Amino acid sequence: MKSNEKPSRFKADELLQFATTVFAKAGIEQDKARCMAETLLESDLMGHTTHGLALLKPYLISIEQGHMTKEGQPEVIRDTGASVTWNGRRLPGAWLTHQAIDLAFERIKEQPVVTIAIQHSHHIGCLAAYPERATKKGLMMLLSCSDPGFDRVAPYGGTTGAYSPNPIAAGIPTSGLPIIFDISTSETAAGMVNQSHKSGQRLPHPWLLDNKGNATDDPATFYDPAVASTILPLGGLSTGYKGFALGLMVEAMTTALSGHGRADQPIIGWLSSVFLQIIDPDAFAGSAAFTNQMDYLVEKCLNSAVPEGKPPVRLPGQRALRLRDQYREAGVPLFPAVVEGLQDMGKVYKVMMPEEV
């Protein structure tokens, strides 16, 4: 969006109904359509606008191109009880991830740790939209994904891409608000580059690397074949070896554990490999001990001294959870480009776009 563009606000429940109906009219089974809509809306409610309803139009295009499976169940490749591997069959990523969480919740009653790896999933959206389900039960969640068909993140020291932004998310329960984070192992995500490019804005920092080895904040270089910029690993030119190592770890957890990834070329269409792990603290030193340690650390962090005039420390996820409450009350803000995309798809599938509030 341009700096002078103001968002319009819409009621959350009306956006949910709109998105669910559009997905259903595109041929997605009703339960899957609802899950996709809920996950995209949750992303917008938490302030993660690049992975919210802005993805509705690209998802629908993917459906039209035959790159998303509309119905059915994942195929079980292997099941040991504590670990499960699925072929997601290109089913909607949000639905597959929630199905995996449901299965993990069942298994965690008998297993201290449950791990599920999914190959051939469609895009799973914003990872921050998932972990609260676990923290509400006093459980920890680790979630990560990679895109085997996207290789525009450069390894540290290189200028050509090798892998994807590879986010890592976690949910950690405390006696108060949970700790929830969702971070890329690269300097930024491709969605942010695309959003900045479309709006004609520079990136906030030089997060890209051109083919001469120079860092740049110009998103247009990412789409210019003559420059072919890549995304820097987290840490950039100075400490990017840390992000590079984390990116490789995600590749191992997602593509390698699930058994499908970059070695399986060509990869056509939008695809994700997913790693999900649910951990029961009660199976280790106990839930009380876990909460005691986390609460102490939380207080230590929140009471940390800050420079004069600066805001107090906040924990990862606090802002997103508070934004969600505000937006449910005051309306979900959507920028003009997102609204335009929703209106376009509403016309295609003959679904009325909600009115502004």
For the cut 80, the answer to whether the pLDDT of residue 2 exceeds it is no
* Residue-level pLDDT at 65: 96
CB-side exposure of 294: number of CA atoms within 13 Å? 22
How high is the pLDDT of residue 4?
Answer: 54
Mean pLDDT for the stretch of residues 346-354: 98
How confident is the model over 95-116, as pLDDT tens digits? 999 999 999 999 999 999 999 9
Yes or no: is domain 8-187+232-293+316-349 CATH 3.30.930.10?
no
Could you tell me the pLDDT band of residue 3, with boundaries at 50, 70 and 90?
A: very low
Instruction: Quickly count: other Cβ atoms within 10 Å of residue 159's Cβ.
Output: 15
Domain boundaries, the chain: 8-187+232-293+316-349
pLDDT for 1 beyond 50: no
**What is each CA distance from 288 to 37, 108, 111, in whole angstroms?**
36, 18, 19
CB 177 within 8 A of CB 136: no
pLDDT digits (tens, 9 = 90+) for 11-66: 999 999 999 999 999 999 999 999 999 999 999 999 999 999 999 999 999 999 99
Angle at the Cα of 128 (from 125 to 129), degrees rounded to 5? 70
pLDDT per position as a tens digit, 253-306: 999 999 999 999 999 999 999 999 999 999 999 999 999 999 999 999 999 999
* This model's pTM is above 0.85: yes
H/E element holding 320? Answer: helix 318-330
Nearest CA to 119 out of 320, 258, 245 is that of: 258
Bond into 266 cis (ω within 30) = yes
pLDDT band per the 50, 70, 90 thresholds, residue 199: confident
Give the separation between CA 138 and CA 8, rounded to whole angstroms: 36
Residue 276 backbone zone (phi > 0: left; psi -120 to 50: alpha; other: beta): beta
